[in-house]
A = this chain, B = another copy of it.
Amino acid sequence: MGVASKSGCGYFKMASFGKVIRKNSLNAFSRVVLRRDFTRGRHSLGLVYGEYGDPGTVLKLEEIPVAEDLKDDEIEVDMLCAPVNPSDMNQIQGTYPFKSELPAVGGNEGVGLVRRCGLRVTGMKEGDWVIPILPGVGTWRSTLISNCNKFLKVSSSTGLDFAATLQVNPPTAYRMLKDFVSLQPGDTLIQNGANSGVGQAVIQLAAAWDISTINVVRTRPDSSDFDVINYLKELGATEVVTEEFLHSHKMKELIKGYSRPALGLNCVGGDSSTGVAKLLKEKGTLITYGGMSRKPVTIATSLFIFKQLTCIGYWNGLWLTNNITNNRALIEDMFHDLCTLGEKGLLRAPRSTKHELINYKNAINESMKPFVSSKQLLMIKN
């Protein structure tokens, strides 16, 4: 779950973070040089922003030059499909901790088709599906050229939606379940924002690994909109409750039916984080990976002292960046696991709404509405 600064859509403001900490550390290779005089050469069509601001205003569909020649370790990729994630919005708004060098192409996640390979590229060939490993590639364009190491080959048998949304949410869920607490079959975890992309992945991975999930969702303003509770149960959620229920006495009764959770996942903050933390077992861990309520994480002092709680954060982009050079096998194993679960039908792509690239404004607008239960996907090449 990424974070953005738009009011009312469940994102939180970055003001408290204050300053840019990683200028271009992740996305230097996505920089584009726009030339207004396109008299020669090939071009890609993409969503470019030349200044930070409201994504609906600053993003423009423009032609972007594409090099004629490939370096030996480069691949040319035709992007097929790319989602609009909250963190993409942040980046364009200029509120994300690392900033693109402008002008830049939007989009960090997606799936593409290898069109050409440089002479020294191994393990990939024309026609393969690939996904970018790190954020910052600028996926909202029809064609891009990149060092082959920045991409990973994925099987096309999982489907376009699955592959397009594989790089951010499922790894966040996977690492939070694997790296912090040693969960065993029969154990329980509790999460809020359970209907988020990450939340849905958590439910499915936990179900596949025989871990019970207590899932908290925001009470939705329009109950006719979408039956979140049944949808999440159908994905494998053990229990689904509302925020209101979380803070009631009924929650204490419900939790008694399960082994006390050693792991809590928080992407909401405020009262919701307080409520989730309270239900953890002694020496439990609360991982924060988002802040939908735009309120800080608030934890009773006694939980730190007497219950020996640990609160930490998870940031998928940073984890991938930290491991891409020295632990590439770890990354490949994870994506292999995730794809295998996808092929078995145990991990599904999130519900989505598809938009042609030319209709990108609809995708942007929909993605910034509150309580939207659908991932907006840009269909770039069909």
Interface residues of A (CB under 8 A from B): 3, 12, 14, 16-17, 21, 97, 269, 274, 278, 282, 288-291, 296-315, 318
Residue in contact with A288 in the complex, picked from B288, B290, B291, B305, CB distance below 8 Å: B305
- For this chain, the copies found in one complex come to 2
CB-CB under 8 A for A3 and B313, given A16-B278, A297-B299, A298-B297: no
Q: Which residues of B contact A315 (CB under 8 A)?
A: 305-306, 308
Is there an interface contact between A299 and B296, defined as CB atoms closer than 8 Å? yes
Is there an interface contact between A305 and B290, defined as CB atoms closer than 8 Å? yes
Among A304, A310, A311, A312: residue with most chain B CB under 10 A: A304
A317 to chain B, nearest CB (A): 10
Residue in contact with A298 in the complex, picked from B14, B298, B304, B307, CB distance below 8 Å: B298
A43 to chain B, nearest CB (A): 35
Is there an interface contact between B97 and A302, defined as CB atoms closer than 8 Å? yes
CB-CB under 8 A for A306 and B12, given A297-B298, A298-B297, A300-B296: no
CB-CB under 8 A for A310 and B311, given A282-B21, A301-B288: yes
Q: Which residues of B contact A299 (CB under 8 A)?
A: 296-299, 311
Is there an interface contact between A308 and B302, defined as CB atoms closer than 8 Å? no
Residue in contact with A296 in the complex, picked from B17, B298, B307, B314, CB distance below 8 Å: B298
A315 to chain B, nearest CB (A): 5
A304 to B311, CA, bound (A): 8
Q: Which residues of B contact A298 (CB under 8 A)?
A: 296-299
User: 17 pairs across A/B with beta carbons < 8 Å?
Assistant: A3-B305, A17-B306, A97-B306, A269-B301, A290-B305, A291-B302, A296-B301, A297-B300, A297-B304, A298-B299, A303-B313, A304-B313, A306-B313, A307-B313, A308-B312, A309-B313, A310-B312
Among A3, A288, A305: residue with most chain B CB under 10 A: A305
Apart from A304-B313, A305-B315, A310-B310: 7 A-B pairs, beta carbons within 8 A: A16-B303, A97-B306, A288-B304, A296-B299, A304-B312, A306-B313, A310-B311
